[in-house]
A and B are shown apart, each in its own frame.
Chain A
Amino acid sequence: MLFDIRLQITYEYEDAAVAARHILHLMPAGLAGEQRLIAGSIDIQPPPDERIDRTDFFGNQVVEIAYRSPHTEESFLVKGRVERFARGAELDITPELAGLSREIAAVHSLGPDAPSHFLGASARVPMDDEITAYAREQISDGMTVFDIVRTVGLALNRDMRFDPEATTVETPPREAFDNRHGVCQDFTHIMIAGLRGLGVPAGYVSGFLRTEPPPGQPRLEGADAMHAWVRAWCGIETGWIEYDPTNAMMVGQDHIVIARGRDYFDVAPVKGVSRSSGTQTTKQAVDVIPQG
């Protein structure tokens, strides 16, 4: 499936930011066998004083920019054409939990996709006994890791209410979990915490959703802004799978990946530090249009 993507993010500062430095995770990724970036551009206004393009630890393309002079607005316009490839139906050959921990230990690697990175606490996802206990209640003995991922995701989707007004990007997973509400970021963080608590390596994927659904299907939650979902490691044979707990579905052709990391901290679209005393307001607009 071919998509044309347009993303516009605008920050407005009440008092001019004296200087700023940001790391951007905004461009759809090129992922062998999954997704091809045919063309892409980022237009940044005002033009930054510095721009560095590089790859981060997890293999994501990042743009680092810096401003040295006062400015009251920053605007990022991303345009891209992406092809998503269909992934064949999964044959569940994943191990049970005990087998999984042996397989994790057998991966003698600290490469970006090594499961060990995705097990303990990370910057935005602390280990949480309550969430772990919740995840444990959902599963039963004998389940494969693949089943576990889908079962925990489905349960969260059932028990949590999607509410774009209830949380912010700073809301800790536990708080959103206690209130059983939030947006894709909260769903994703809580599911990550639950899976890691069970011993399943789990990470965070940021990306886009197709804006208008195919005819006859409901519009998906999170299509009006950037989206997020979970990736989980299901053993050496299967490797990573991706699951969208906000929409209770396996990630398919209509999900477009931007970046992957342990949690929001690793892949935040616009991360950084501005020297400004006033408040700032953000606007975001996304269009993901299939081209056939």
Chain B
Amino acid sequence: MTTETASETDMLDALLQNYRPPIGSADELLDASGEIRPAWRPFVSWLAGLQPDDITRRFGNADQYLRDAGVFFRQYGEEGAAERDWPLSHVPVVINQDDWAEIAEGLTQRADLLEALVADLYGPNRLVRDGYLPASLIARSPEWLRPLVGVAPRSGHFLHFIAFEIGRGPDGTWWVLGDRTQAPSGAGFALENRVATTRAFSDFLARAHVHRLAGFFREFRDALTGLRGEDEGRASILTPGPHNDTYYEHAYIARYLGLWLLQGEDLTVQDGRVMVRTISGLRPLSVLWRRVDAEWVDPLELNEGSRLGTAGLIGAIRSGNLTMVNALGSGVLETRALLAFLPRVSKALRGESLKLPNVATWWCGQEAERDHVKANLDQMLVDDALSTRLPFEAPRVGQGRRPGPDRDPEALLKWIDGDPGAVVGQEVVTLSTTPAYVDGELRPRPMSLRVFLARTPNGWTVMPGGFARIGHSDDPTAIAMQKGGSAADVWIAADGPVDQTLTLTQPETPFRRRRPPMLPSRAADNLYWLGRYIERSEGLFRLTRAYHARLTETEDPKADLLLAMLRDHLAGFGVETDECLPEGLCAAVEAAVMSASQIRDRFSIDGWTALSELRREVNGMRRTVQPGTDCAAAMGVLLRKITGFSGLVHENMYRVSGWRFLRIGLALERALATTSALAVFADPESHVGGLDLAVEIGDSVMSHRRRYTVATSRPTVVDLLALDDRNPRSVLYQLSDIRDHVDALPGANVNGQLSELAKSVLRAETDLMVQSPETLDTIALYATWGAIAEVSERLSEAYLR
């Protein structure tokens, strides 16, 4: 017994041998006297008992999960943005439940204060009138939105989902570093960090008393649903789209909570109501959880250059028909200089002192404060007063009028005197340190926490956990991920088993199967084009394989007429055969990925992973593939990958309208490709071998052999690939498939009258049906091609605009 304890201690010593927090800052793992805090002891003792390669394997599991899930973040550099692997610091931050309760209480008080403050700023403006806030500070804030002044939020509240960035000062108390009230990100990443960390420490977590996160999200989802009006629309997330650096998170939360993921383009305003453009027409919507900064949501009344917004959205809010989470204009609360006034505002509005202090801040628009900042420049972070950045985030290039980051005192003084109202001084915060696992041992790294609060019918609820930023060195300003920092899970540890009832509560409403969800037109459009690009890629793989396979069998490729025809045919798709892995082929795959990325919330993780792998594979091959046999083999690999994706989608996608658009896209592209291949390679003037080639790229070699006892002839090939309704590669088969799907779409048949789309499908199908291999000559094939192309046109008109 004694020896065991001794060895445990040894192992812990080994793990902590270089763990020496810097003097003058607090540490999360060790208390002021250097003892391990009780909340941490079970975890670090357990971790110390693991073999190094076991730890590596466990961390690898977490990283593998994040890669498979496609979690990434976008790093902005001088060369533009690049997607980077999610930088997880595997060791969580552990916080004792009782300490956490104090933090939660302080932040709840702050949330209530901010709600009262924003209500005053857009309402009676008592704080400005009575001198608690300077008018010029509010009036100059780009986030104080004049069109929203005097507009009371429909829900009765401005704030519904907010976050606070907090840090622990040298004396051990927690400080608020910044308020995130506009459209805070990170909650979904916090959840992903938890899932990943669980992959690494599942056995430990199973018996550890750590609070779970799911209940928080469920409560907020129910709260959002409760904010709806009488419409049947779902509460939805409004995203700027895939080019935003946190789009992954928007899609993830939408999928996790079953919310719609919409872009400004999906919406329109009619008679003061927000409507979603769906394939069944316009449908009302009353709750939007926006992940778009206010400036961009309505080009009519806010930023006129915005292409992300919906004209008239503010009108809908003014009419009392739309709840924005959070209300437009809430971003004004993030203004840096407001931190200087909050302690007094708290007393004025609520008669209370702040339970958690915020970073000491001096606004230079006031004379005494300006003098203080000027006299203490070397101990201050001097920055833009109206900025909403957090203290450790660097300004983007060209942002603000702040002199360079060199902190040249003369330039700072000139800036302050030139426009004092534009400047704040802030106390430089020393953050606490927390363990990171570096080279087989724990090292102290600076840390800040993002904590999330959601409004429920019963008041604020605090996520029992959060998103920790971990610095990559001792530099406390280097915790931003843009500067190489990483992220860690946050464990709120209880002394005994945690109360799990929260995560088990069910919605009050009884179970019922929801009516078929509505499909936004933009999503339908992307699904349709995803289908088309996937099929196009597959077709191009086959054509390229056929070309390279023949290339090796030919002595003089230049003289071979069939190869020349293939070259021309491929060139028609933008594919140049002298490139081993042609640009045009990569572009088709890329286009498929782009369509899919617009609707990531509609894919399973597996579906997305399969598609991403395909892209990776294609890009990887670009550098290595050799012409001839090697390329033909590579195409075989790609074909197997892409059919894997198609299969996954086909097997797993719920049979609703979205799936039909994808299927129509696939069938239509295949019908077009097969028709044009027949027109070229089955033409009587075509070169010898053209018929076999047509059968090969139509993937019907086996079928031909089985169906006809003779060798290929024009009638057999045309029959099999165009007219045989039992061959799943034939044109006629695609057209019947399209007809089935179109008939099932909303509006296909109104009072017995066929839609223009349904008519066009029927026309193409019957025209083909009455043909025979003899009558379906090249001219007739081109006519068929035109009829199919018209179906695409009618489909866009009916549903996708």
B135 pairs with A108, CB closer than 8 A: yes
B136 pairs with A119, CB closer than 8 A: yes
Q: B129 touches which one: A54, A57, A109 (CB < 8 A)?
A: A109
Alpha-carbon separation in the docked complex, A185 to B95 (Å): 59
B140 pairs with A119, CB closer than 8 A: yes
Q: B130 touches which one: A66, A108, A271, A273 (CB < 8 A)?
A: A108
Residue in chain A with minimal CB distance to B801? A18
A114 within 8 A of B: yes
Using Cβ atoms and an 8 Å threshold, which residues of chain A touch B312? 21, 64, 66
Q: B131 touches which one: A56, A57, A108, A110 (CB < 8 A)?
A: A108
A110 pairs with B139, CB closer than 8 A: yes
B146 within 8 A of A: yes
Q: Give A263 Cβ to nearest chain B Cβ, in Å.
A: 12
Q: A273 touches which one: B136, B270, B299 (CB < 8 A)?
A: B299
Using Cβ atoms and an 8 Å threshold, which residues of chain B touch A110? 125, 128, 135, 138-139, 149
Q: Give B274 Cβ to nearest chain A Cβ, in Å.
A: 13
* Interface residues in A42-69 (C-beta closer than 8 Å to B): 50, 52, 54, 56-58, 64, 66, 68
* Interface residues in A236-269 (C-beta closer than 8 Å to B): 265
* Interface residues in B122-169 (C-beta closer than 8 Å to A): 125, 128-131, 134-136, 138-140, 146-147, 149
Using Cβ atoms and an 8 Å threshold, which residues of chain B touch A272? 300, 311
* Interface residues in A89-147 (C-beta closer than 8 Å to B): 104-105, 107-110, 114, 116-117, 119-120, 123, 127
Using Cβ atoms and an 8 Å threshold, which residues of chain B touch A114? 135, 139
A19 within 8 A of B: yes
Residue in chain A with minimal CB distance to B150? A57
With A117-B139, A119-B136, A120-B140 as known contacts, state yes or no: A109 contacts B128, CB within 8 Å.
yes
Q: Give A64 Cβ to nearest chain B Cβ, in Å.
A: 7
Interface membership of chain A positions 4-23, coded 1 if the CB is closer than 8 angstroms to chain B and 0 otherwise? 00000000000000010111
B269 within 8 A of A: yes
Using Cβ atoms and an 8 Å threshold, which residues of chain A touch B269? 21, 66
A57 pairs with B140, CB closer than 8 A: no
A56 pairs with B299, CB closer than 8 A: no
Residue in chain B with minimal CB distance to A116? B139
Interface membership of chain B positions 346-384, coded 1 if the CB is closer than 8 angstroms to chain A and 0 otherwise? 000000000000000000000000000000000000000
Alpha-carbon separation in the docked complex, A119 to B303 (Å): 19
Q: A116 touches which one: B131, B136, B146, B271 (CB < 8 A)?
A: B136
Alpha-carbon separation in the docked complex, A57 to B147 (Å): 6
With A57-B149, A110-B128 as known contacts, state yes or no: A127 contacts B135, CB within 8 Å.
no
B330 within 8 A of A: no
Alpha-carbon separation in the docked complex, A265 to B312 (Å): 16
* Interface residues in B195-238 (C-beta closer than 8 Å to A): none
With A105-B134, A108-B128, A109-B129 as known contacts, state yes or no: A50 contacts B271, CB within 8 Å.
yes
User: Count of chain B residues with Cβ under 8 Å from any Cβ of A?
Assistant: 31
Q: B300 touches which one: A116, A123, A273 (CB < 8 A)?
A: A273
* Interface residues in B288-308 (C-beta closer than 8 Å to A): 299-301, 303-304
Alpha-carbon separation in the docked complex, A52 to B300 (Å): 14
Alpha-carbon separation in the docked complex, A54 to B318 (Å): 11
Q: B136 touches which one: A22, A105, A123 (CB < 8 A)?
A: A105
Residue in chain A with minimal CB distance to B315? A64
Q: A50 touches which one: B128, B139, B270 (CB < 8 A)?
A: B270
Using Cβ atoms and an 8 Å threshold, which residues of chain A touch B147? 56-57
Using Cβ atoms and an 8 Å threshold, which residues of chain A touch B130? 108
Alpha-carbon separation in the docked complex, A157 to B703 (Å): 85
A107 pairs with B311, CB closer than 8 A: no
Residue in chain B with minimal CB distance to A265? B304
Using Cβ atoms and an 8 Å threshold, which residues of chain A touch B136? 104-105, 116, 119
B268 within 8 A of A: yes
Q: Give A158 Cβ to nearest chain B Cβ, in Å.
A: 27
Q: Give A56 Cβ to nearest chain B Cβ, in Å.
A: 7
Q: Give A269 Cβ to nearest chain B Cβ, in Å.
A: 14
Residue in chain B with minimal CB distance to A104? B136
B640 within 8 A of A: no
Using Cβ atoms and an 8 Å threshold, which residues of chain A touch B270? 50, 66, 68
Using Cβ atoms and an 8 Å threshold, which residues of chain B touch A107? 135
Alpha-carbon separation in the docked complex, A151 to B410 (Å): 32
Interface membership of chain A positions 22-35, coded 1 if the CB is closer than 8 angstroms to chain B and 0 otherwise? 11000000000000
B300 pairs with A109, CB closer than 8 A: no
Q: Which of A19, A110, A271 neighbours the largest number of chain B CB atoms within 10 Å of its CB?
A: A110
Q: Give A264 Cβ to nearest chain B Cβ, in Å.
A: 11
B20 within 8 A of A: no
Alpha-carbon separation in the docked complex, A50 to B125 (Å): 33
B140 pairs with A116, CB closer than 8 A: yes
Alpha-carbon separation in the docked complex, A19 to B277 (Å): 14
Using Cβ atoms and an 8 Å threshold, which residues of chain A touch B311? 21, 272-273
Q: Give A58 Cβ to nearest chain B Cβ, in Å.
A: 8
* Interface residues in A196-227 (C-beta closer than 8 Å to B): none
Alpha-carbon separation in the docked complex, A21 to B138 (Å): 30
B401 within 8 A of A: yes
Q: Give B705 Cβ to nearest chain A Cβ, in Å.
A: 51
Q: Give A96 Cβ to nearest chain B Cβ, in Å.
A: 18
Q: Which 10 A-B pairs have the closest CB atoms?
A: A116-B139, A57-B146, A120-B140, A273-B311, A116-B136, A116-B135, A21-B311, A117-B139, A21-B312, A110-B125
Which residues in A have some Cβ–Cβ distance to B below 8 Å?
A: 19, 21-23, 50, 52, 54, 56-58, 64, 66, 68, 104-105, 107-110, 114, 116-117, 119-120, 123, 127, 265, 271-273
* Besides the known contacts A110-B149, A119-B139, 12 further A-B residue pairs in the complex with CB atoms under 8 A apart: A23-B300, A23-B301, A56-B146, A56-B147, A105-B134, A107-B135, A108-B129, A116-B136, A117-B146, A120-B421, A123-B303, A271-B300
List 30 A–B pairs whose Cβ atoms lie within 8 Å, in order of A's numbering.
A21-B269, A23-B301, A50-B270, A50-B271, A56-B146, A56-B147, A57-B146, A57-B149, A58-B146, A64-B312, A66-B269, A66-B270, A68-B270, A104-B136, A105-B136, A107-B135, A108-B131, A110-B138, A110-B139, A114-B135, A116-B139, A116-B140, A119-B136, A119-B139, A120-B140, A123-B304, A265-B304, A271-B304, A272-B311, A273-B311
